[in-house]
Structures are given as structure tokens and as C-alpha cells.
Amino acid sequence: MAANLQFNILANSNRKNSSSFQLSPNIRLLLIISQVANILPLVKELAVWFIAIASLCVIFQLTIHLNLIKQPSRIGKSIVAILGCALLVVTGRELGLLLGMIHLLCLAYLLKPLEIRNQMDFYQLIILGLLLLACSFIFQQSLYFTLPVLLLVIANFCLLLRYATPQEKWQFQVNLTTKIVLQSLPLTVMLFVIFPKIAPFWQMPTAKSSETGLSDSVKVGDIAQLALSNQLAFRVEFDQQVPVYQQMYWRALTLSDFDGRQWTRRNIPFSQQTVIDQQALLALSQKASGISYQVIAEPSYQYWLFALDIGVIKDKKAGLNIAQLQDYSLLAQRKISQPVSYQVTSYTQQPLNLERLDIKQYTQINQLDNPQLAQYAQTLKANYPSDNVAIIQAVLDNFREQNYRYTLTPPVLTNNSLDEFFFETQAGFCEHYASSFTYLMRSAGIPARIVLGYLGGEYNQQGNYYSVYQRDAHAWTEVWLDGQGWLRIDPTSAVDPSRIERGFSEQLMLEQQQLTAEFNLNNVFNRAWLLQIQMRLDAIDFQWTKLVINFSQDSQQKLLSDWFGQYFNMTAILVIIGGVSFIVIAIVLLNIAAKRPQKRTIWLTLYLQAHHYLDKLGLGRNNDMSDQQFIRLLEKNNVELAVIYKAFIFNFNRLHYSSLESSAKKILIARMKEQLIKIKKMV
């Protein structure tokens, strides 16, 4: 009968914070494991010295757990805490506000177990762990990161359940928690889609992560370095028309200043940037048909965004303020610290002549930096007087005909000398060619600048999108020809045409593989099916990035209006939520009201009052006592009272049980009132 019965007496119930609160060894061990697990997602962001301290803390706790050493004294604990805080203060400036806070949080999380004195402390620890897991999303958001974190969340809930039900098997806890989380998912998704997305309330410190990808200064060798990275830069999904591969020049920024060593651009605050003529852009978009596509950029911790020429941002987004600069590049107001998506239409066939040229800025050069190149430019200028196109052609022919090599491992140049590259080593990567070409143009008096960006992209068949990696980084040149505007000249195309047409040649691939120590499955197996799987996984991650990470106010609005019709907006949602909750509350209230006894009649009130007085005399009336019985009881105590009561109850019965005219009722009620007063007096 009594199957599986268990019960135990808790001498001091856990309802109260007892002084002898102690976690069971099992839970304590799990707690230490969960600490390590919860900090793991953040480990990339933590300082090395902090990781050392963290490991010490964990080892310390393990030794306590194994009873090798005793619990540290209060002073010991304080010293550790103060030491950690002091280290944080010292390194705080270097870490920045956000990382500093996260370090502090981690420190608290690691030291808290030494101070678990009651149940609430334990719960606080769990909440801290969950908070750390949430914070890890500030830094990384890919699907492959999210899924393990979700598992960790479930594990934390498991630990809570394990704590509550130590007698059960662990399968019970895991199953139940998983069940609950899975059952919660539909509501989560609904909330995510429906719950109005709100603009940020206040500015938060951003992560001070190192910048990735192109930077706003380049010297020879920089891009060759970047080409070693297989990190994703951005992904593009074309709406319909896809440009040919050799047209996929993704512009990021232009560089116009050369100091002899590196190309830079002026550092101007966002608000003072010269913006492109909006009228001209508008006219352009009305005149020509463009290619439209969506770019989903990975966090680069920089301001530059990517588009084909001439890229026009279609719909401005609430969270993302993008300026379209005069040099046709796109600049975000805030650092790209998490994946962003934006819709662009590019008018690839249109000339880049929407601006008034500042000739001085684009022809400025120091002839002494590379005297040989300057000399060569003068020769060209003399050979082809006032024929800029011929000069350009001559230089490109020179690249084509002479024995120039396109390589990731060019010989080192002394003092970044372009002369040395052009006339002696003749081996370099795109920035070598672009750099010397631009220098030559400027020396010849042709306005020119360097454009940094990406070239090409890897097509993902499963997801129907292009991935552009850091290794696709590229530098090319733009020259200004009167009447045509800026013209893209890519000297690389003259040296290594396959780079432009198909991407890296086999030779380059080989060089890249040799240079990257990175273990790459692709390179080892190079099997088609493995590539397929990789593509599929990447396609899933792309959808995740597009649908979840980039789900914004606008996409919410769009989705909901797709579902519920054109005129659907946030106010409508609020009205619906408000309306539904109003109806629910109304129903509940009505239900409660319906359950309430009906409104008392006057005579019932009088009757109850009379009994209230009689109760005081100790003459209570049970429900199973008849009128006659009660009157007899009264007679025993007080005959006079009994007489009055008899008349009172007679009136009451007439009012209560027979239907009377309202006038008759009034008379009876008046009588009852008089009798009630008499009863009251007697009491």
C-alpha cells in the first residue's frame, strides 16, 4: 500500500535561516563544477591574471571540499576579496568599464561559495551564475555559442532542483528540468516575437574588444596579414539579381593621406563627416535600377560597413545610425560590437561623380618618399601628355608585362619603400600594387586614392547567400578622370587576374595554408561531403543571425504586419494585450462576484442584527433549531424578550417567505425595526 514512502524530520526546518545551514557535499561539489562551467563562456574576455586567480579559487574550494584544509577564517576571506578588488582597480583602466564590471562579477561569483550561510546565499549564487551566462552574450552570439549556454542554463536549474530534491536520482532532475524548459519555449518564442521591442533606455559601456578586419590605416603587408584569417567578416543575401564575381568589390573605406610609410584617413568625428549629396542619391535611385541585398555584418569593433558601389541604405533603422559619406563608404555611428544587418541597394553601373573634387587632397604627395617612382611618373607624363587614360594603361601594362608576382609572402621592404617593391623585388600583395599605383598616379598629377574593402565572397548553396571572410580583404585604387568621376582601377587584376575572377589561386591557397597554423578540417580531408556539412551548419548560423540576433523593432513590426495586416503596429499590440488582460480580469472578477451571496435584504440584515445582540447574551441560535425551539429557549431566560422575538420572527417570516406588496413590506419592515430596537435595549 504505502509504496515508496519516505520522510525525514528536519529538526530545524529549512524555512528559517538557521545558523547551522550547510550544503551537502554532493551539492557543494556540483556548485564548484557549475562555477567553472558558468565562467567558461566568458573565458575569452577575462584577463590572464584573473583566470589564474579563478583557478586558484576553484582549487581552493576543491581542497576545502575534500577536507584537506579547513574553511578559511573571516579575515582570510576578506584578504582574498580585497586583493582581488585591488587588482581590479589597478587594471581597471586597461580593462574598460564593461570588462571591469564583468571581472568584478566573476570575482564575487567565485568568492561567494566561501560565504554561504543560509539558503538565500545559495540562491544568490545561482542567480549570479545565470547573470554571468547572460553577460557572455554581450561578446558572442553565434548559434554554436548559444546552444551550449542554453545547456548551461538548464544545468543551473538542474542544480537548483537537485538542491531541493536530494533524495531523487539525477535523471529525475535532468528530465524534469529539460521538460520544464522545453515547455517554456513556446511562451518564450511568443514573447520574443510579440513583446514590444524597446529602444535602449540609456547608454551602456561597450566591450573594448580588439578591432578585427580592415583598419583605417594601411601599410604594405597589412592586408597580406589579414588574408591569413578565415574569420567571417559579413554575409550578403541578394534579393534577386546577383552581380558577377569580379564586380563584387565591397567598399569599406577610402584612404587619401600618404606619409611615406602608410596610407591613412583623417580622423573626423561622426557628426562632422562630410555626407554625400542626398539629393543626388535620390535622383540616382529614381533614374537607375539597382541591385538590392541585405548585409549581415559580424562584429568588427569598428565603424565601417560594407556595400557595393554606389550603395544606398534603403530604410533607416532605429538602432543603427549609418551615414553615407562623400567617398561612397558607409559609416556607423557606433562601433559594430554585435552582428548588424542592413538593407542596401547598389547602383553598380552608375559613375561615382556625385561630388565636387578636392584635387589638392587627392594629388598631395611627397616626391622624396619614393624618388624613383616619382621619376617614372614624370617620364610617363612626358610620354603621354594630357592623356591620363594612357598613363594608367601604361602602368597596368608594365605590371602585366614585367615579371611581377602576386604573393602572400613578399620579401621584406626596407622602410616600406615602394621604390624597392616596384623596381627590385616586384613581389607583393594587393596593397603593394594599389599603394605604388596610387603613388604613381598622384606623382603624375592624377587624383587618386586607395580603397579598402573585400573582394568576392563564398557562395553558400544551402542558404543562398555569400559569405565574405577576412581573407577576402582587398585594396584597390580609384582615380578621378574628368567627366567620368572616380574610376576603379585594380592593379591586382593586371598581375593576377584569377584573384579578381575566382578568388585565391591555388598558389595563394597553398601559401595561406602554410602560413596559418590553424588546423583546418577542410584542408586535411578536402572532402565534398565535409564541405557540404560545413556549408549547412553555416547556413543555419546565418538564419540564426538574421532572424534572432538581428530581430529588431523594424523586423518585429514587419513580421507582425505580415501576420496581422498592414495597419498593425505596436500600439495595436499594446491595445490587444491590454484588452485581453482587461477581459480576463473582468471575467475573474465577475466569477468572484457571482460566487458572492446575493445582496442581503433589509429584513435579513435586521434578523442577523437581532441575533447579533442575542449572541451577546449567550443566546446563540443553531441552524438546526426551529423558531419554536429557540423561543422556548428565550422564555427560559427572559419571557419579555421571548415575546418580542416571537413577533419579530413572525414579521421576518412573512417578509422572507411570502411575496407581499411593497407597501405591506414597508409596514412590516418598520415594525421589525421597532422590535429590533426593543431587543437591543433589553440586551
Instruction: Indicate the length of the chain as a whole number.
Output: 683
138 binds other proteins (CB under 8 A): yes
Among 127, 151, 282, 521, which residue interacts with other proteins (rule: CB under 8 A)? 127
Residues 312-371 that bind other proteins (CB under 8 A): 319, 338
160 binds other proteins (CB under 8 A): yes
Binding marks (x or -) toward other proteins, 551..570, rule CB under 8 A? xx------------------
- Of the two residues 130 and 683, which places its CB atom closer to other proteins in the complex? 130
In whole angstroms, the minimum distance from the beta carbon of 248 to other proteins comes to 29
Residues 631-660 that bind other proteins (CB under 8 A): none
Binding marks (x or -) toward other proteins, 93..112, rule CB under 8 A? --------------------
Point out which residues pair with 450 in neighbouring strands: 255, 477
682 binds other proteins (CB under 8 A): no
- Of the two residues 207 and 450, which places its CB atom closer to other proteins in the complex? 207
H helix or E strand, kind and range, residue 255: strand 249-255
594 binds other proteins (CB under 8 A): no
Among 27, 65, 85, 137, which residue interacts with other proteins (rule: CB under 8 A)? 137
Say how far apart CA 346 and CA 307 lie, in whole Å.
7
Q: What are phi and psi of 277, to 5 degrees?
A: -65, 110
# of chain residues touching other proteins (CB under 8 A) = 64
Q: Where are the alpha helices (DSSP H) in 66-142?
A: 74-95, 97-111, 119-136
Fill in the DSSP letter of residue 166: T
Strands of the sheet containing 232-238, edge to edge, are 311-313, 340-346, 291-297, 232-238, 465-469, 458-460
Residues 512-541 that bind other proteins (CB under 8 A): none
Using an 8 Å Cβ cutoff, are 219 and 429 in contact? Answer: no
Strands of the sheet containing 257-258, edge to edge, are 217-219, 262-264, 257-258
Residue 296 CB contacts under 8 Å (≥ 6 apart), including other chains: 234, 235, 236, 237, 339, 340, 341, 542, 545, 546, 550
Q: Candidates 8-16, 37-45, 614-622, 630-638: pick the segment binding other proteins (CB under 8 A).
A: 8-16
Q: With 0-12 CB in 10 A as exposed, 13-18 as middle and 19+ as buried, what is 437?
A: buried
Say how far apart CA 487 and CA 461 lie, in whole Å.
33
- Of the two residues 176 and 642, which places its CB atom closer to other proteins in the complex? 176
In whole angstroms, the minimum distance from the beta carbon of 89 to other proteins comes to 24
In whole angstroms, the minimum distance from the beta carbon of 506 to other proteins comes to 40
Fill in the DSSP letter of residue 44: T
151 binds other proteins (CB under 8 A): no
Fill in the DSSP letter of residue 68: S
37 binds other proteins (CB under 8 A): no
Closest residue by Cα to residue 552 from 339, 274, 256: 339
In whole angstroms, the minimum distance from the beta carbon of 317 to other proteins comes to 10
Closest residue by Cα to residue 106 from 135, 142, 138, 145: 135
Fill in the DSSP letter of residue 368: T
Question: Going along 298-424, which residue ranges are E strands?
Answer: 304-305, 311-313, 322-324, 330-332, 340-346, 405-406
9 binds other proteins (CB under 8 A): yes
- Of the two residues 61 and 141, which places its CB atom closer to other proteins in the complex? 141
300 binds other proteins (CB under 8 A): no
22 binds other proteins (CB under 8 A): no
In whole angstroms, the minimum distance from the beta carbon of 14 to other proteins comes to 8
596 binds other proteins (CB under 8 A): no
Q: What are phi and psi of 452, to 5 degrees?
A: -105, 145
Among 26, 188, 461, 629, which residue interacts with other proteins (rule: CB under 8 A)? 188
593 binds other proteins (CB under 8 A): no
In whole angstroms, the minimum distance from the beta carbon of 206 to other proteins comes to 8
Binding marks (x or -) toward other proteins, 203..242, rule CB under 8 A? xx--------------------------------------
Among 157, 454, 465, 603, which residue interacts with other proteins (rule: CB under 8 A)? 157
116 binds other proteins (CB under 8 A): no
167 binds other proteins (CB under 8 A): yes
Tell me how far apart the 2 most distant CA atoms of the chain are, in Å: 142
Q: Candidates 69-77, 120-128, 324-332, 419-427: pick the segment binding other proteins (CB under 8 A).
A: 120-128
Say how far apart CA 456 and CA 247 lie, in whole Å.
8
Q: Candidates 195-203, 258-266, 371-379, 669-677: pick the segment binding other proteins (CB under 8 A).
A: 195-203
> Other C-beta atoms within 10 Å of 442: how many?
24
Q: Candidates 13-21, 252-260, 268-276, 450-458: pick the segment binding other proteins (CB under 8 A).
A: 13-21
Q: What are phi and psi of 28, to 5 degrees?
A: -65, -40
- Of the two residues 26 and 628, which places its CB atom closer to other proteins in the complex? 26
CA distances from 569 to 207, 584, 646 (A): 33, 23, 70
616 binds other proteins (CB under 8 A): no
75 binds other proteins (CB under 8 A): no
415 binds other proteins (CB under 8 A): no
Say how far apart CA 161 and CA 176 lie, in whole Å.
9
131 binds other proteins (CB under 8 A): yes
In whole angstroms, the minimum distance from the beta carbon of 79 to other proteins comes to 29
Among 120, 574, 576, 608, which residue interacts with other proteins (rule: CB under 8 A)? 120
Among 31, 133, 323, 344, which residue interacts with other proteins (rule: CB under 8 A)? 133
Say how far apart CA 44 and CA 415 lie, in whole Å.
35
Among 49, 144, 195, 582, which residue interacts with other proteins (rule: CB under 8 A)? 195
- Of the two residues 4 and 414, which places its CB atom closer to other proteins in the complex? 4
Residue 218 CB contacts under 8 Å (≥ 6 apart), including other chains: 255, 262, 263, 431, 435, 450, 452, 475
187 binds other proteins (CB under 8 A): yes
- Of the two residues 29 and 160, which places its CB atom closer to other proteins in the complex? 160
Q: Candidates 11-19, 451-459, 467-475, 625-633: pick the segment binding other proteins (CB under 8 A).
A: 11-19
618-634 core/surface letters (b: 16 or more CB in 10 A; e: else):
ebebeeeeeeeebbeeb
Say how far apart CA 340 and CA 298 lie, in whole Å.
7
The rounded Cα 597 to chain-centroid distance in angstroms is 54
Closest residue by Cα to residue 315 from 288, 336, 285: 285
H helix or E strand, kind and range, residue 452: strand 448-455
Among 51, 83, 86, 134, which residue interacts with other proteins (rule: CB under 8 A)? 134
Tell me the one-letter amino acid at 145: F
Residue 525 CB contacts under 8 Å (≥ 6 apart), including other chains: none
- Of the two residues 512 and 545, which places its CB atom closer to other proteins in the complex? 545
Q: Candidates 82-90, 187-195, 262-270, 362-370: pick the segment binding other proteins (CB under 8 A).
A: 187-195
- Written as nine digits, the cell of 629 is 425551539
Using an 8 Å Cβ cutoff, are 592 and 644 in contact? Answer: no
Residues that bind other proteins (CB under 8 A): 1-13, 15-16, 119-120, 123-124, 127, 130-131, 133-135, 137-138, 141, 146, 153, 157, 160-161, 163-165, 167-168, 176, 180-181, 183-185, 187-188, 191-192, 195, 197-204, 319, 338, 548-552
